[in-house]
Every structure is written in C-alpha cells, then in structure tokens.
Amino acid sequence: MGLGPGNSQQRNFLPQAYNDFIYSIIIEEYGLIGGAFMIFIYLVFLFRCIRIFRKCPYAFGAFLALGLSFTLVIQAVANMAVNVNLVPVTGVTLPLVSMGGSSFLFTCCAIGIVLSVARNVEQIEGKPEPAPLTTPLTTTIV
C-alpha cells in the first residue's frame, strides 16, 4: 500500500529525489497502485494522441501530434525504467511530474502543439458540408 504521502524513508539517500527519481518516491509513498496509476495516465495520453492522429485529415498535423506524444511517453518510460533499475541513470525527467525547469517548459509546449492539432481536427469535423446551390447564380446586365 505504500508508506503514505510524505513518509518516504529513502528520500535522503537518493540523488535528486525530487527530480530524476520522483517515480521511485511515488512508488514508495503510494505503493504499487500509485505507480500503476502513473503508467495508466501516460497510456491514456498516448491513446488520446493516437485518436487525434487517426482523425486528422492532414499528414503534417497528424504526424506532429503522434511524434510529440511518442516523445513524451518514451521519455516517461525511460525515467520509469531508470527508477526501477532496469537501465542506467540517464538524467531524463518524468514529464509533468519532475521538478525540471526547461524540461517542463518544452513538455508544456509539446502538449500545447498536440492540443492545437486536436482543436484543428475538431473545427474541421464540426463544419457542416456546404449546401448545394439550387438556383444558378446569374447576373443580368441592364
């Protein structure tokens, strides 16, 4: 179940526990449920971006949204793999969770671009088809 919020015992022994190793602190404080919830959130984000990719009629916007979302999810997976000691320490932050200045800024820019593509897709889907003209347009010269 975890030790509860703020009751982490290994925080003093981890280098940069608030930044690169925040996922291990989340697992220690909130248990397996907290760690699985973090993975679930990133998978939902990826699923939503794949839906945007499928609905986008333009290739540039579709691949832009897909590429940025995969970049963020791979960054999250890399951080989680470092925290559970599967790969060596890379210094990659956990997107939107770790305390990182420039990483947080670029993560927010990437999510803003994905949201812009999603808004464009919604605007294109919401436009009704133009009604066919029933009478021809003619001008008379007098």
d(CA 16, CA 14): 6
pLDDT of 130 over the 60 cut: no
The predicted-structure confidence for 106-118, as pLDDT tens digits, reads as follows 999 999 999 999 9
Burial class of 14 by CB neighbour count within 10 A (0 to 12, 13 to 18, 19+): middle
Residue 77 — pLDDT band, cuts 50, 70, 90?
A: very high
Nearest to 98 by CA among 78, 114, 123: 78
pLDDT of 9 over the 90 cut: no
pLDDT of 75 over the 90 cut: yes
Q: Mean pLDDT score of the chain, rounded to an integer?
A: 85
d(CA 24, CA 15): 12
Total Cβ atoms within 10 A of residue 73: 16
